Structure formats: C-alpha cells, structure tokens
Amino acid sequence: MKVLHLISGGDSGGAKTHIISLLKGLSKSIDVKLICFIEDSFYQDALKEGINIEVFHQDKRFDLSVVDRLEIEINKENYDIIHCHGARANFIATFLKRKVKKPFVTTIHSDYKLDFKDNFYKRLVYTNLNRISLKKFDYYIAVSDTFRNMLIDRGFRRDKIFVTYNGIDCDKDEEFVSKKEFLKRYDIDYDEDDVFIGILARLDKVKDHITFVKAVNEVLKSRKIKVLIAGEGPEKEELEKTIKEYGIENDVYLLGYIKDAYSFINAIDINCLSSISESFPYTILEGAKFKKPVVTTNVGGINKLVKNGVNGFLIEVGDYLDLADKILYLANNSEERTKMGQRLHDDACEKYSYDSMAHNHINIYNHILSSAPKVLMSGYFGFDNSGDDAILKAIVNDLLEYDDSLRIKVLSNNPDKTENMCGVFSANRFKIREVIYSIKETDLLISGGGSLLQDITSTRSLLYYLALMKLALIYKKPIFVYANGIGPINKKINRVLTRSILNKVDYISLRDNLSKEYLDELGVKNNNIKVTADPVFTLKPSEENKVMEILRNEGIPLDKPIVGISIRRWKDDEKVLIELKKTIDYLISKKKVNVILIPMHYKEDFDISKRLLELTNFEGCFILKNEYPVENLLGIIKKMDLIISMRLHTLIYAASQVTPMIGIVYDPKVEGFLKELEYDYYVTVRDIKSEYLIEYIEKIYTDKPAIVNKMSQKRENLIKMSKENVELVYSLLGR
C-alpha cells in the first residue's frame, strides 16, 4: 500500500506532532510520503525523524502550479490513497481530485469553523474555502468522537467518517533541558518549594487563556504559585492586559513560542488546558509522557484519556472557579500530583501509543480500498428493545465470523448507539437520502430478524419494510429476508402488497414453521423459502462473575435461587398483574426464591414492571433498575431456575441458555416459537390464572432434569439451523 500525505508545512504544536508521529508509525508497515508546500521548521523536524518528505514550493496560498506537479507525482508513484491535513492541503485537493482518480481522505484536527476565529479576513475567506473543500472529500478521519459528531451534525455522511485518536511514542527518549536551565533562559528565579503551573497552547480565543488567567488570579489569593504560558498568537495583547489588570505580572510569565516543548513540560508541575474546543490535544499526551497531572476543560475527546479525579481533573468550559479549585488542590498536595501523573502516564502509554494510531490508520486505509461486499441491514433496530438488539448483534457476529472483511451497515433509529453496540456503520432509518444512498451502494439488503412483516402493531411499520425492499428491487439489489416471523397481516391491501414483494425477493428464511404456514396461506409462491431459527441462539452470555457483580449492584440478594418474570403492557393489564401477583406470592413463600422483574424493552416495560413490583410489595421481589446489553441479560437468565414471560425474546433467551420457562401467549409468534420447541408450558394472556401458572411451576420443578435435557437437544439443533442463515447470505453474495 502506498499513501501520499499533503500538508502546508507551516504547522506547529499538536498538528506537527501528530503528522510526524503518524508518518513514523505508518512507515513501519506501508510506503508513505509527505509533501508540504512551505519549507519551515516542520520540514526540518520531519527530516530529522527519518520521514520521506519533499517540498513542492508554493509562492502563495492560491498558487495552483503545485497541482500539476502532484498529478505527475501520483501517477508516477501510483499511490493508492491521498491523505490531506489542514485547510491549505484541502484546498489544493479540490483541484487535484479532478485530475486524479484516487480516494481522497482528510483528517479533521479541529473545528474548522474556529480555525481562523481571530482574523476576520481569514475567517471570511479561508474558513469558507475550507468548508467547501471538505465537502469534496471521499472520506474523513476525525481525531475524536466529538469531531465525528460535529461533521455528522453539519451534514457529512456518517459512513464516510472514521475516528482515530492521537498517539505518542512513550518509548522514545525526548530531548529536553533541565528545569533550572529552562527557567534561567527566561530569568525566572525559583526554589524547591515553588509549584509551577503551565499551559502550552497558541494564544487565540479558542484556547480561552482568559479563563486560565482568571483561575490563576483566584489561586494567588490563597497561595503562591508561578505560572508559565507558552505560545504565540493574536490574543497576546488581551492576555497581557488582563494579567496587568489583576496585578499578577510578577507571578505569570508569557514565554512566547517554545521550540522544545518537552523542556517546558519538564519544568512545570501541573499541566493545564482551558480550551473551548479541542480534538485530542497533544499537550495532554506530552504532559502524560512526563507524568504531569492535568486540569483541563472537558471538550473533544479529552475524557477518553482523562478520568476526573483519577488521573487528572475535568472542568466545564469557562468555569474559572472550578479550575482554580482544582489547581489549588494539586498545588497543595504533592503526593496526589505524583499519583495522578503516574496514572495519566500509564493510561496514555497503554491506550494511545503512536503505533496504535498508525495501526488504526492502516485499518481505515484497508477499509477504503476494500472490494469486499457491502451488506445493508434493516430491522427494528435502535429502539432500545433488547430482543431486537440481540437479533442485530447475533446477525452481525455470525456474518463477520464467517468473513470478517464483510462491510456491514445498519439502518437504525439511533445510529450512534447501534455503531457503538455492534462496531458497524449505521444510517438514520428515517432520513430518506441516507436510506437511498445506502441501498444504492449495497450489494445485498437483509431484512433482518424479528416480526417485521405484520400489521398488528402498525401498518406504517409493515409498509416501511416493504418500501425498503421495493427500493432495493428498483436498484436491482438482491434481498434476503433473514429469519423472520411473519404475520399476522389483517388488512387486505397489506396482504396483497406483502405477497407481491415477497414473491420477488431472492431468499426468505423463517424462524418457525408457523410463519411458513402463514406464507402459504398468504399465497406467497417464492421457491426460495426455508425454515431456520432465530439468530439469537448463537449469542454468548456474559461470564458469571460479571452477572454476580450486576446482581450485587442492583441490590439483589444471592442467598436464594432466582426466578425471572418479563411482562409487557397489555389491554387488560390489571388482570395480568393480579394473577402474576398471586404467582409471585407463591414463588416467594412456597418455593423460597427471589423474583426478578426484567424490563426487556426497557422504556416500554419498566413502568408495567414497576406497577407489578408495587402491587406485590413482597420482600424477595426485585426489579432490574438499569438497562443492560444483551450479553448481560443472557447471563442473568442463565443463572435463573425458571422464567415466566410474555416477551418472545425473553423466552428465546431462556431457551438459548437452557433455562426452563413458562410462556404467556399474547401473540401467535409466542405460541409458534414454543411449539417449534415442542414445549408445552404456556398459557394465553386471555386465560391467564395463577392456578395454571403454579401448576406449571410445580411440574417444572418436579421434572426439571428431563426438561433441561430436552431443551439442550433442541438448542443444539436450533444453533445449527441459525447458522444456515449465514451460509444463505454468502451464497447470494457469491462467496
């Protein structure tokens, strides 16, 4: 792989450190070259580090003669990717992109709207040119999640934006002068008891030095400190004025531009940053390398490294009183400074090495260049329903286990949550442009899992999934209906539309025979239909120690066996609650167990579960007060003696963990699943009575070994059938 990096070359501070660290790391694994347009200290420093760098000199920012030179260079060397950094390189790339048919990527090091905040002319011209240039790129690398979200909010496509955090070389021995020599350079006297507070950042409004100086003024009211401010910029005059107004000129030293940042870092005792906006600043990583504790605003990706009160302190933007309080605390506690500095050093070196940063970039480059198939998944995803989250996780895990190069995107109600949960790209299912882009670019549409094709809950939902399939058919994309439960569909027009679409899809797999019978009744004549199993059967539960920790944190005693109950709202809630209250009373008093109420669709089920808890008012009945990921719920259910549930996926979780269960049937899909298991312990919600439930409880406790044995055999078969879905997907992809 060959990658060409472009940058202005006049960069300093964090941007310079980032590029040099990145290129050093990348050069260990791939062929990289850096071209800049100004010969400055950046060029000399890069040469010293052994980086392959060349200057394509620009007389002025708008001198576009370099475009032709770059075109010749790219074609001659056959670079795979062009990677830009900063406004000047982005501007040049807009013209270069017309001549060179290669992927272009740019790194978002800062909020580009704030880059020229202190100069009206530059803000008017350069900021707008950069904004226009950015829209032309194929891909983006944000140096924090905050900046990725910023781009998404400004209309950039989320599936084109990657995140990788800055990294630092913790093993390299940096060059620096002693504290004594550094301070002597600026005629600063000191003794061993002096505490030096430092801030290393260019002097402009986005760094908000005024808040820092206000905090320093508050600290000086309580104790003596010495303050070093390193950097140059347009805010210098305002800063000098504020320092003079407070009368603290003898305590605060403006050092100007510092060439040897590590000499500055070595000289201070506490590192500070008061910025309004940041990405993941190197000044904190540089301080971490020298074990300096930090007090910083909680902006950008800083909280990925700095844990408040553990390895430093986080404050809100502009809160100079809190900043003063934290500086004063550290100034008065040398032992705490040492502990926090060591923790910050350890965390930075473990998680944010420059090798790790380079490795992440190579993964991004590989993704950009990959020719692996793209799969788009639709379903009831991003609605905080544990069952649907489980379906999504299971399908993603199974597909990637078969081929980890597959590129998966998910249509979701909550793209951020879906991406964090599954490690895939996501698009907003309700933004039509994002949906159309996603379908046009995919190689396969998966309509994935659950009971999507029914109109009991909503006709709109049914029409939504049918519309996605229709769009895929228009764009000639293959469609796989993945382990669905079908029906009931009551409205005639809905039945006609469903039959028409399903007859045209490429493959339909169903999670139960009842759904197959329903398709036959519906008149679907598709030749590619197969009954498999729900994908959730392939998911693994959390380890027992994690489950025990959750139960302890929830305040649930572990001295007795546990029975779970999972209910949902129903039109005759009171009857259901009364019968379950009697059942819980029996379980606690006669079976000597603790009962846990489990809200599966957390936002919908918590209130009804809480009503049941309040109605029972029994010692020994508890509710899961917090929302948990699928793996944790599987682990909790695995630990139970028995579970009673209305929710289908609670029953599926129980079957997957071989936990005996009693179903409360409110929908044909629940009965269909239990019949598929050849499992007879269920009642209908219409006929629910505590006597029936208690009778089943006694039978299960009496025949538990036989029940568990039968469930185990069924489970193994269902896992095997669930895996068949994956093979069918890859057959459609021709893999």
Q: How many other C-beta atoms lie within 10 A of the C-beta of residue 687?
A: 9
Rounded CA separation 307/721 (Å): 45
Q: What is the pLDDT of residues 68-125, one digit of tens each?
A: 999 999 999 999 999 999 889 999 999 999 999 999 999 998 877 776 666 666 666 7
Hey, which bits of 390-491 come out as E strands? 407-412, 425-428, 444-450, 479-484
Is residue 607 packed enough to be buried (19+ CB in 10 Å), middle (13-18) or exposed (0-12)? exposed
Q: What is the pLDDT of residues 520-535, one digit of tens each?
A: 999 999 999 999 999 9
Domain span(s) for CATH 3.40.50.2000 in the chain: 2-163, 179-352, 371-531, 544-719
Average pLDDT over residues 267-280: 92
Average pLDDT over residues 661-683: 91
Q: Which superfamily, per CATH, for 179-352? A: Glycogen Phosphorylase B; (3.40.50.2000)
Cα torsion 540, 543, 546, 551: sign = positive
Specify the pairing of strand 682-684 against strand 661-665: parallel
Tokens of 434: 């994002």
Rounded CA separation 534/358 (Å): 39
* Interior/surface letters 145-181, b for 16+ CB within 10 angstroms, e for the rest: bbbbebbbeeebbbbebbbbbbbbbbeeeeebbeeee
Average pLDDT over residues 485-513: 94
The domain 371-531 having CATH identifier 3.40.30.10: the answer here is no
Amino acid sitting at position 733:
L
Residues 6+ apart with CB under 8 A from 163: 141, 142, 143, 144, 145, 147, 148
Average pLDDT over residues 342-353: 91
Q: Give the pLDDT band (50/70/90) at residue 20.
A: confident
Question: Is residue 476's pLDDT more than 90?
Answer: yes
Supply the pLDDT for residue 120: 63
Residue whose structure tokens are 């040049």: 92
Question: Is residue 696's pLDDT more than 80?
Answer: yes
Give Cα 360 distance to the centre of its chain. Answer: 15
Supply the pLDDT for residue 571: 83
Average pLDDT over residues 412-420: 94
In this structure, the dihedral spanned by the alpha carbons of residues 272, 278, 283 and 289, taken in order and rounded to 10 degrees, is 100
* Interior/surface letters 499-526, b for 16+ CB within 10 angstroms, e for the rest: bebbeebbbbbbbbebbbebbeebebee
Which DSSP state fits 502?
H
Average pLDDT over residues 7-31: 85
Mean pLDDT across the chain: 92
Percentage of the chain exceeding pLDDT 70: 98
Question: Is residue 205's pLDDT more than 80?
Answer: yes
Q: What is the pLDDT of residues 568-589, one digit of tens each?
A: 988 888 999 999 999 999 999 9
**Residue 35's beta-bridge partner residues?**
6, 54
Residues 6+ apart with CB under 8 A from 264: 182, 198, 200, 228, 230, 255, 258
Enumerate the H helices of 617-703 as residue ranges. Answer: 630-638, 648-656, 668-676, 690-702
Q: Give the pLDDT band (50/70/90) at residue 13.
A: low
Q: How many other C-beta atoms lie within 10 A of the C-beta of residue 538?
A: 21
Question: Is residue 12's pLDDT more than 70?
Answer: no
CATH code given to domain 544-719: 3.40.50.2000
Q: What is the pLDDT of residues 596-619, one digit of tens each?
A: 999 998 888 999 999 999 999 778
Rounded CA separation 278/13 (Å): 13
Tokens of 599: 């809200």
Q: What is the pLDDT of residues 169-198, one digit of tens each?
A: 887 888 899 999 999 999 998 888 899 999
Q: Which superfamily, per CATH, for 2-163? A: Glycogen Phosphorylase B; (3.40.50.2000)
Supply the pLDDT for residue 505: 97
Query: Is 388:417 a contact under the CB 8 Å cutoff?
Result: no
The radius of gyration of the chain's CA atoms, rounded to the nearest angstrom, is 31
Task: Find the distance separating the first CA and the last CA of the chain, reported in whole Å.
Answer: 25
Q: Which 3 state secondary structure label does DSSP give 162?
A: strand
Amino acid sitting at position 302:
I
Q: Is the model more confident about 512 or about 31? A: 31
Name which of 11-15, 38-42, 440-444, 557-561 the model is least confident about. 11-15
